[in-house]
Structure 1
Amino acid sequence: MNRKQVWKTYHQSQLSLLPPSYDDLVPDNHPVRIVDTILESIDLSFLEQKYRGGGTSSYHPKVLLKILVYSYLRNLYSSRKIEQSLSENIHFIWLSGGAKPDHNTINNFRSGKLKDSFKEIFNQVVLLLNEQGYLSLKDIYVDGTKLEANANKYTFVWLKVSKLPVHGLRNN
């Protein structure tokens, strides 16, 4: 017996009465929201002071920092790929508020304004993650780096560590 195939409707050009909010498209427990919450809590006045007045408007350093931190969380380091994600990935679009800095802006921020401040910002992030229960300072995290032994240049020391949870920061 032949049954007729039934397809789900598909209309790319279908207009909607109300466009969805980006906020509706990002789940409440998504890591991008943690990055946003943590970086909203950090004092970046020292970073803001590095900007001179006048000229054309600049992207706020908090927006650029959020983009970089979330990119690094996603193992995305290329400024061109970050720029692409700001146009294609809903999480990046939500985090940046629709801002689309180009790869030169991202690179200039990373290598210029952020260069000497990154350790200070990182320390603040770690402390806030600890305060909010996303990270415990008692846990030890190992990234799987191979360490060369002294005995032989072809000998590696492998550290056996059970997987430790990152408390919501990893997307499994």
Structure 2
Amino acid sequence: MYIYYNRDQLILPMDLEILIPKHHLCRIVDLAVEKMDPALFASLYPGGGRPAYHPKMMLKVILYAYVNRIYSSRQIAKQLKENIYFMWLSGHQTPDFRTINRFRSERMKDIIYETFFSIVDLLRQEGLVKLEDYFLDGTKIEANANKYTFVWRKSTEKYDQKLEEKFRQIVASW
């Protein structure tokens, strides 16, 4: 009458990689971080003390969380215990929310731009993104609360030029 149900039964496959589709976004995040220059991570940890979680693993988890619009370190820590994609990226390691928050706010703050641009450049090389066209929302909406908070076109163009210059400098240094 019913399909056999037993929670105490051993379930295969034990390897989560089998359950993740070939072209899933978490595989792209994994590939992007694995191809990054290891020298970027070497400067993060001066040594001594208790062994730390690997910075590549931490970066993969954080990037995948951001792609899925998860920004809370508590929510990221929760996903590491409940979501198979996060489990696979972390290798079943479960850093707590304080460790995640410390990593992104203290360790990554000096190299965040280099990390971002190296991932963008890698995705461009792999053909996953094109840097031909991009769009910057220039909508100006004046609010009653503070009429000076909307963005002017000249300031967005100036910011865009600085960002482009920084990208070229970082790519030229590789």
How would you bin the TM-score normalised by the shorter chain? Answer: 0.7 to 0.9
The letter for the 1-side match of 2:40 is F
Cα-to-partner distance string for 1:55-86 (whole Å, 9 max, x where unaligned): 21101111111111101000000000000000
Q: Indicate conservation of the 8 Å contact 2:44/2:108, yes or no.
A: no
- In 2 relative to 1, CA 108–145 (structure 1 residues): closer, same or farther, beyond 3 Å? farther
Instruction: Calculate percent identity across the aligned residue pairs.
Output: 42
Q: Distance in 2 between matches of 1:86 and 1:34?
A: 18
Q: Distance in 1 between matches of 2:16 and 2:138?
A: 37
Q: Distance in 1 between matches of 2:71 and 2:26?
A: 16
Q: CA deviation at 1:138?
A: 1.1
Can you give the 5+ residue segments of structure 2 that lack an aligned partner in the other structure?
Answer: 152-174
Q: CA deviation at 1:92?
A: 0.2
Q: Which has the higher contact order (CA 8 A, sep 6+)?
A: 1
The letter for the 1-side match of 2:7 is Q
Superposition map of 1:4-15 within 5 A:
6-15=1-10
The structure that is helix-richer by fraction is 2
User: Following superposition, which runs of at least 4 residues in structure 1 exceed 3 angstroms of deviation?
Assistant: 144-147
- When normalised by structure 1's length, the TM-score is 0.77
Q: Which has the larger radius of gyration?
A: 1
Can you give the 5+ residue segments of structure 1 that lack an aligned partner in the other structure?
Answer: 1-5, 158-172
Q: Indicate conservation of the 8 Å contact 1:47/1:113, yes or no.
A: no
How many residue pairs align between the two structures? 147
The letter for the 2-side match of 1:11 is N
Number of the residue aligned with 1:137: 131
Q: Match for 1:63 among 42, 49, 57?
A: 57
